Structure 1
């Protein structure tokens, strides 16, 4: 059992969360407000200017307000279990788990659910871009999935401050190694491909969205409007009749033509 302790003079650390992004994350209680928050112990690089970069990113992220973005609340310095001083990022604590582990035990997520989460993440990124910012490090640890199926985005700007984290950070970095909105869209495409387990129906709207978002040349990458339209199509529920339901208008036309042909033949015989 993890020993509880207070950091920053107010955050009582509780149980560990199922996240392995930029450091160990734990659920915590704000002893002043009584609110339950998430506290992440940031693994800081040896670079002496890292804290200044982190503080600048936290300030910028703290000004973002969007239902698809996990709000940043505080940054405090506290003594870790090893006795050294560490940085602790305090954020909202949504009831959610990382997309990287959303399909554990059940295989990859269904394509429709991946597309719906992709739309949520895209909306969050568009809100970030509208403020003149970028995420700069989107990966499956940064997209959280709530029990009701919504996707929320966290860790905005942290990769710029302390570097990308994770078992394979290069897998979700765009080929141009830039920090632009187009680079964020490439990372989103890579995240969606990862969420499907690499198994997506060729030619489907989701496949088109992933291919368009991950085009190597940023100039050939689809924009957020086209991506949203494709993901919206991919997220639509299947008609209750399956293929029959989708083809019902065609079948009705064919049936009508056949009926007309029968009527014409009967009339010809009678006359």
Structure 2
């Protein structure tokens, strides 16, 4: 670190942010542009381990992406932490948003809001996949929620670059050592949505079907992005927990039938 609280002679470090995806995250001010950025500190193995080369590859790939739901990558700096050890510092945009993991924190979200988050994250992932990349480590720390309710995706490729061990949001094939694929990202999305909604998912509803389709054990059996998007759009509609309109229609018809029978019985009784 080139000065007290200054990274790379350019970024003035400010307060620590409420995120712990890959290491401490600080808010900082760019001395050159005056913009506020977020800086993630990533520990470097004693032997280097090729971390910087992997990070540079991921930063270049992420830097080419242009999507409102993807947090932009701006810079990568190698510097020394206050303890003298080398660190890699990833500089990204700093949206006004909180990680999903902090928002949920034991209190599940409604099915409607969960589906809306899933819809936004899926749109971002589709852009990543269309560019030939994958996220490679989607979890609730990587999903940021803005005050307007929209969701953004951050930390693209960091799990892969840092050789992070697969966690509970990694699909079966990744835990078995297989490489990253778009289908693996979709499984992680389904796991994140299940975490967000908790036990509040209506069995057989569109959100339940979307999550089940996304988290199928075999990649080839997972729901395709178009199918997932349609279900999430339906579940995100205003209404009773994003209720399935088809199921609701049958319920309404059944109730109407019972009412009709009751009215006919009353008329017959009145004319006796």
State whether residues 7 and 77 of structure 1, in contact with CA within 8 Å, keep that contact through their aligned partners in structure 2.
no
Q: Tell me the equivalent position of 1:124.
A: 124
Partner SS for 2:167 = helix
Deviations 1:166-201 (A, max 9, x none): xxx421111111300001000111111111234422
Q: Tell me the equivalent position of 1:157.
A: 157
State whether residues 110 and 200 of structure 2, in contact with CA within 8 Å, keep that contact through their aligned partners in structure 1.
no
2 CA distance for matches of 1:256 and 1:109? 35
2 CA distance for matches of 1:96 and 1:159? 21
Q: Tell me the equivalent position of 2:77.
A: 76
Which consecutive residues of structure 2, in runs of 5 or more, have no partner in the other structure?
A: none
Deviation at 1:159, TM superposition (A): 1.1
Deviation at 1:85, TM superposition (A): 2.5
Q: 1:30/1:236 Cα in 2 relative to 1: closer, same or farther (>3 Å)? A: same
Deviations 1:81-110 (A, max 9, x none): 1122211100000111111111247x1111
Deviation at 1:130, TM superposition (A): 0.3
The reply on whether 1:170 has 2:157 as its aligned counterpart is no
State whether residues 4 and 14 of structure 1, in contact with CA within 8 Å, keep that contact through their aligned partners in structure 2.
no
Q: Equivalences for 1:256-271 in 2 at 5 Å?
A: none
2 CA distance for matches of 1:205 and 1:253? 24
2 CA distance for matches of 1:255 and 1:141? 49
Q: Tell me the equivalent position of 1:206.
A: 207
Q: Equivalences for 1:24-43 in 2 at 5 Å?
A: 24-43=24-43
Q: Tell me the equivalent position of 2:45.
A: 45
Deviation at 1:208, TM superposition (A): 0.8
The reply on whether 1:61 has 2:62 as its aligned counterpart is yes
2 CA distance for matches of 1:111 and 1:256? 31
The reply on whether 1:238 has 2:236 as its aligned counterpart is no
State whether residues 44 and 86 of structure 2, in contact with CA within 8 Å, keep that contact through their aligned partners in structure 1.
no
Deviation at 1:163, TM superposition (A): 2.1
Deviations 1:37-69 (A, max 9, x none): 001111233453111011111111011110000
Select between 119-128 and 94-103 the one with higher mean Cα deviation. 94-103
The two structures have a TM-score, normalised by structure 2, of 0.85
The two structures have a TM-score, normalised by structure 1, of 0.85
2 CA distance for matches of 1:124 and 1:117? 11
2 CA distance for matches of 1:179 and 1:87? 23
Q: Tell me the equivalent position of 1:89.
A: 90
Q: How many equivalent pairs are there?
A: 256
The reply on whether 1:225 has 2:216 as its aligned counterpart is no
Deviation at 1:261, TM superposition (A): 7.1
Q: 1:55/1:220 Cα in 2 relative to 1: closer, same or farther (>3 Å)? A: same
2 CA distance for matches of 1:257 and 1:192? 41
Which consecutive residues of structure 1, in runs of 5 or more, have no partner in the other structure?
A: none
2 CA distance for matches of 1:221 and 1:98? 26
Q: 1:175/1:29 Cα in 2 relative to 1: closer, same or farther (>3 Å)? A: same
1 CA distance for matches of 2:207 and 2:259? 34
